Structure 1
Amino acid sequence: MNTMFTGVEITEKVKEKVNSGSLPRIVCFDYFDTLVTRKVYPEATKKLAARNLAVICGESCRWQTLYELRAGIEKKLCKESVAAGFDAEFTINDLGEELFSILQHTGWLPDWMDEKTFFTCFISTEIAVEKNVQESCYVLTELLKFLHKKQYEIYIVSDFYFSREQFRLLLEYHGISKCIHGIFTSADNRLSKGGTGRLYEEIISRLSCNAEEILMIGDNRRADYDMAVNRGLQAMHLDRGEQYEKYSTLQMKETESSLENDTLSSVFMEILEEQEVSCFGEMGLTLWYFIRQLFIRLNNDSVHDVFFCSKEGEFLRKLFIQFQLLCFGREIIRSHYLLVSRKATFICSLDSLEKEDFSRLFAHYRDISFKEFLLSLNFSVKTAKKICELLELPYNTRIQDLEKSFEFQSFVSSDIFRDFYEIHRVEQKKHFLSYLESFGKEAISPSFTMVDVGWKGSIQNNIRRCLPEDIVVNGYYIGLLSPTEVTETNRKHGVLFSDVPVHSPFIHVFNNNRSLFEMLLGATHGSADGYFDEKVFADEKDHRKSLAFSHSGKNDQTVVSVLDLPEERKLFKEKIEPLQGAYLQMNRELTKAFSLSLKNSPDLQWFAERHARMVFFPEKREVIFFSMLYHLENFGLFEFTDFQVTGDISFSRKVKNLRLLLKDPAMVLETGVWQPVILRRLGLEFLQPLDGRKRFKRIFS
């Protein structure tokens, strides 16, 4: 007599019994390989959890060691359970406690990780990995939902080391928790259905029913069928032969491959191709590599709170949170979003007029107007005009070497400017510090950690000048180029590239079009505009063309504002947001692929080569797309900058440009602007493939 059925056959038989009224009122489902299957062979799940936990524990801890320790602890706990009169079962909680004790004794845990923190990370990582590797079995979950609608009592019965509370998180993930009346696991009862069958006796007792009033459905012949029938339950045995063969194949592949040298490069390329990003698809790969390296660096440096700086930090933070949730089930490193800009923080960092010479502004902007000077100090247009009118100074006229001009010396020594300046400077700094304190003192003291796109770290310098001297400010950047004001209390780290103390590998790839990072990491809002008292902001918001983004401080007194410009909103909605949506999805798929494999991530050179495709061999549509972008210069100079080609270029002009290029290539191409855009502006875009090959060969040969 056949006692093994497919999911479809079981569904048909159960529905027949429902229609005839002969189905027991209580239906129990096994979970693994019944309601869900795994994308990896079962034991690999523990290895993946060990791999992710090792990342959290830090550089001194190898995942293979964690896995071996785990196996030994499991055996020990099972023996202790049997000795106490129960079955050979254990709980994930007991496993975590034992593992922490061993790791702490051996010194393999970072100093900051106490037992509570380790346990939380351990459990959340286990649950996250289980979610990643599981796939819902449609036929059986639909049967479960059908029975729920028919008001049958439904229970999950599983020989597994999760408690019912932890198990319910998996049911919620698959959207079936509301259909379940209860959960029986071997971990909660220290009794098994497969080992001794005593878990069934516990179920019968707990539900106060007769054994024949229960139907058990599951894939394991011994645990879900024989033991259930022996205890008097009705049972149906699910055929999962194909799934078992799949597990065997996956295990054999792992055994045959060298995990130390094997990488996920081909899988990552498949994900890139499947996403079909309209432009600059490889940026999704670069951002994934940056986010993973950023997490490793922050974790190894014992960072618990990190601030992502606006505007580029808005999307980077989304990627950072998603990466952590998929790998570890929670934010191991808490992230915050900080509204800052050069303009908004510069005034906060300035000293009294007796000590301030504004050299940090004039070092980069010499020939500017009084308007541009005052707006860089974050005065509103209304106030800036008023100051110039009172002092009878030209407002819009750019003055050569303004800092050294007679007009400027007279300007800064005037009582009128002094009064406006001191009130404005003190108020802005007070409200900025109130804004920082709203995140909690533990987030900014004894160290303050920030993430930004790069390149010199001027915003970090401003923040450093605002904070007490004993607070160490750490900045982590996509890249650094000649970073300024680096000290023991103002540290800067380039994650993808840096030119200090020497050029990092492949710097000339990632640095070749820095504007690409800035443009593609645009935000849903405008630049940070300032930090204000509510009443002051109400009077100035129209003149500043800004909106209140958030309120902070005691009694919500501090308004943090952002610029609200239609041109920026349009650019983001039409050009940038669709690309970010694709990058976010790619980040998710790359992270899941990494979480489902014990293979290594590709190395930096692999990611650099992919990134090089964008900067050295762009498609025509990508150059055109980039040429249509623009951004607002919001410090020093206040104007929109774009990359467009203006007007047609005559043949004679193209010949002159070609001669100039051949005479001095560096002068023409090494201006900091992306070379394909320069060549397009010169009408020489036909030279791009040649120039790209030359640059690629120079770097990767």
Structure 2
Amino acid sequence: MNELVKKKDGDVPFIDICYGLYLFVDRLYKILIQRKAEDVLFFAREGQLLKEMFDFYQSTLVDEKKIKSHYLKVSRRSTFLLSLGPLHQEGFDVLFRQYRRISILDFLKSLDLVDSAELFAREMGVGVDTLAEVSSDLPTDKRFLKMLQLPAFQDAYESQRLERSFAFSEYVKSLLGATELPTDLHVVDVGWKGSIQDNVYHWFSKEKGSGAKVHGYYVGLIAPGATTAENTKAGLLFSSTEGRTPGFHVFNENRSLYEVILHADHGSARRYIFSKSAGVSVIEDEVTDAAMIAEFIRPVSRDLMVKFKKLVVAMSAAKLSDGELLKLAMSRHGRMVFNPTKKEIEWIFSVSHVENFGVFEESSFGGEEKSVPFLKKIKFTWNLVLLRRPSQLGFWPWLTIRRNAVPGMASVYEFVRIRQSRVNPENGAG
């Protein structure tokens, strides 16, 4: 174990994330056993590699109980329409609580009803380009409200809502090898609010009634979403929903790392289709970032999996307590987010993220280092000291502070975050 920790991994960026992911998998297995789960569903797309890790972890167990794992191709978009009720009952709160400044076309894409956009535009007496115009507040937009009254929209909404709900039910049953849906579902995802789980729960409660329960397990959880006693969520590596867990400020620094490194090799799920002859088909987006995945992400995730397997084998002999594991994982993760190599910074700026719900655009994580005038650095630092968190802190606050504050402030930020995340190795408590 000591040799593995001390081993230099060459130029593989962010490979130390494997320690936190091992702790997550270890905690996941134990809580599933404690709750007597028979099956667990890993949500696409980050769940693809998490499932592979979980399966290998279980393969090294000798006498312990094994849990059947399944990979469920879902997204916020593919589960949105089937989670909704009849149109006259809907305010589309799940979408509009986060995205209000969007176009009608974005709304239709989020429901995956965009194939009917020309028909809706024609019945409204406008061109499709009009539907692409961004509204300052779509829920109150007159054109949007007019579209909701169209018989064509109402027919498409209701027929697709019911068809996709049935298809999704058949899909879940086929994965579980069951003729009927269970009353409890155990699901796994990377985080951060559990929006897909909320959609799945709303669908599931319509299918199974008041006895339906969904239990979600996340790498990190920073907001409860629609959590209830029947729709539970747990951030197993870090969480801030019921107070910050030990190590939170370290693992929460640059959450984008998890999303990028756990990126799957297939497109985002759009909808589900069922036919008696072919069964269920999952319609996916075309993979537009295949070159980026092949060049930057896949080599890292491949080497990460190799190290993860070595870590699992080493841990089977090391027998570290949860608190000791947490302290080790926090130390290695802190190295990445507070003392990254030049190659690691360049790597994260070489990848991008595609948003597939609410807004549909590709965004990168940054660019080349630029010189910041000293007076601007003083102003930035002053706002930081006064706890006026500038919106430009972005996805990686430490790096933003290093770039924009006076020299030494990034080290102060690191010291504060590490101190806030102190861990007792005996019991994992802060």
Q: Given the two structures, how large is their TM-score scaled by the length of structure 1? A: 0.55
Matching of residue 339 in structure 1 with residue 61 in structure 2: no
Q: Structure 1: which 5+ runs fail to align?
A: 1-263, 535-553
Q: Retained in 1: the 8 A contact 2:100–2:138?
A: yes
Pick one of 286, 291, 304 that aligns with 2:25.
Answer: 291
Matching of residue 488 in structure 1 with residue 229 in structure 2: yes
AA aligned opposite 2:381: L
Distance 1:291 1:636 in 2: 31
Shift of 1:516: 0.8
Matching of residue 314 in structure 1 with residue 48 in structure 2: yes
Shift of 1:530: 1.3
Distance 1:276 1:298 in 2: 36
Matching of residue 424 in structure 1 with residue 160 in structure 2: yes
Shift of 1:352: 1.0
Distance 1:528 1:685 in 2: 45
Q: Deviations over 1:265-308 (max 9, x none)?
A: x34413xx254351112101111111111111111111110000
Shift of 1:533: 4.3
Q: Structure 2: which 5+ runs fail to align?
A: 424-430
| Structure-to-structure mapping, 1:7-86, within 5 angstroms | none
Q: Deviations over 1:317-372 (max 9, x none)?
A: 00011111122389801100000000000011011111111111110001110111
**Residue equivalent to 2:382:** 662
Shift of 1:555: 3.5
Matching of residue 610 in structure 1 with residue 351 in structure 2: no
Q: Retained in 2: the 8 A contact 1:325–1:331?
A: no
**Residue equivalent to 2:427:** none
Pick one of 515, 519, 538 that aligns with 2:256.
Answer: 515
* 556-565 or 341-350: bigger deviation: 556-565
Structure-2 change in CA distance of 1:397 and 1:477 (3 Å): same
The SS at the match of 2:282 is strand
Distance 2:342 2:195 in 1: 34
Structure-2 change in CA distance of 1:495 and 1:604 (3 Å): same
Shift of 1:499: 1.5
Q: Retained in 1: the 8 A contact 2:381–2:406?
A: no
**Residue equivalent to 2:110:** 376
AA aligned opposite 2:260: M
Q: Deviations over 1:185-222 (max 9, x none)?
A: xxxxxxxxxxxxxxxxxxxxxxxxxxxxxxxxxxxxxx
Structure-2 change in CA distance of 1:681 and 1:415 (3 Å): farther
**Residue equivalent to 1:66:** none
| Structure-to-structure mapping, 1:198-237, within 5 angstroms | none
The SS at the match of 1:449 is strand
* 279-288 or 683-692: bigger deviation: 683-692
Structure-2 change in CA distance of 1:645 and 1:443 (3 Å): farther
Distance 1:681 1:420 in 2: 50
Q: Retained in 2: the 8 A contact 1:510–1:608?
A: yes
- More contact order relative to length (CA 8 Å, sep ≥ 6): 2
Matching of residue 389 in structure 1 with residue 389 in structure 2: no
AA aligned opposite 2:167: H
**Residue equivalent to 2:428:** none
Q: Deviations over 1:62-84 (max 9, x none)?
A: xxxxxxxxxxxxxxxxxxxxxxx
Structure-2 change in CA distance of 1:316 and 1:651 (3 Å): closer
AA aligned opposite 1:582: D
Matching of residue 574 in structure 1 with residue 295 in structure 2: yes
Distance 1:278 1:288 in 2: 18
Distance 1:301 1:672 in 2: 38
AA aligned opposite 1:288: Y
Q: Retained in 1: the 8 A contact 2:42–2:50?
A: yes
Distance 2:154 2:391 in 1: 45
Alpha-carbon RMSD: 2.5
Distance 1:405 1:304 in 2: 47
**Residue equivalent to 2:174:** 438
Q: Deviations over 1:141-160 (max 9, x none)?
A: xxxxxxxxxxxxxxxxxxxx
Distance 1:586 1:371 in 2: 44
Structure-2 change in CA distance of 1:600 and 1:503 (3 Å): closer
Matching of residue 593 in structure 1 with residue 314 in structure 2: yes
Shift of 1:657: 4.6
Pick one of 532, 549, 568 that aligns with 2:273.
Answer: 532
Distance 1:442 1:607 in 2: 42
Matching of residue 400 in structure 1 with residue 136 in structure 2: yes
Distance 1:656 1:632 in 2: 31
Q: Retained in 2: the 8 A contact 1:344–1:528?
A: yes
Q: Retained in 2: the 8 A contact 1:310–1:339?
A: yes
Pick one of 178, 184, 187 that aligns with 1:450.
Answer: 187
Identity of aligned residues (%): 31
Pick one of 190, 196, 205 that aligns with 1:459.
Answer: 196
Rg larger in structure: 1
Shift of 1:691: 3.4
| Structure-to-structure mapping, 1:176-187, within 5 angstroms | none
Structure-2 change in CA distance of 1:444 and 1:622 (3 Å): farther
Shift of 1:660: 2.8
The SS at the match of 1:637 is coil
AA aligned opposite 1:637: V
Structure-2 change in CA distance of 1:644 and 1:504 (3 Å): same
Structure-2 change in CA distance of 1:531 and 1:370 (3 Å): same
Q: Retained in 2: the 8 A contact 1:275–1:586?
A: no
Structure-2 change in CA distance of 1:419 and 1:312 (3 Å): same
Number of residue-to-residue matches in the alignment:
412
Shift of 1:655: 3.3
Q: Retained in 1: the 8 A contact 2:372–2:404?
A: no
The SS at the match of 1:700 is coil
| Structure-to-structure mapping, 1:268-307, within 5 angstroms | 268-270=4-6, 273-276=7-10, 278-307=12-41
Q: Given the two structures, how large is their TM-score scaled by the length of structure 2? A: 0.88
Distance 1:328 1:419 in 2: 55
Structure-2 change in CA distance of 1:658 and 1:628 (3 Å): farther
AA aligned opposite 1:498: S
The SS at the match of 2:224 is coil
Q: Retained in 1: the 8 A contact 2:238–2:247?
A: yes
Pick one of 343, 355, 369 that aligns with 1:633.
Answer: 355
Q: Retained in 2: the 8 A contact 1:277–1:579?
A: no
Q: Retained in 1: the 8 A contact 2:380–2:405?
A: no
AA aligned opposite 1:405: D
Structure-2 change in CA distance of 1:431 and 1:378 (3 Å): same
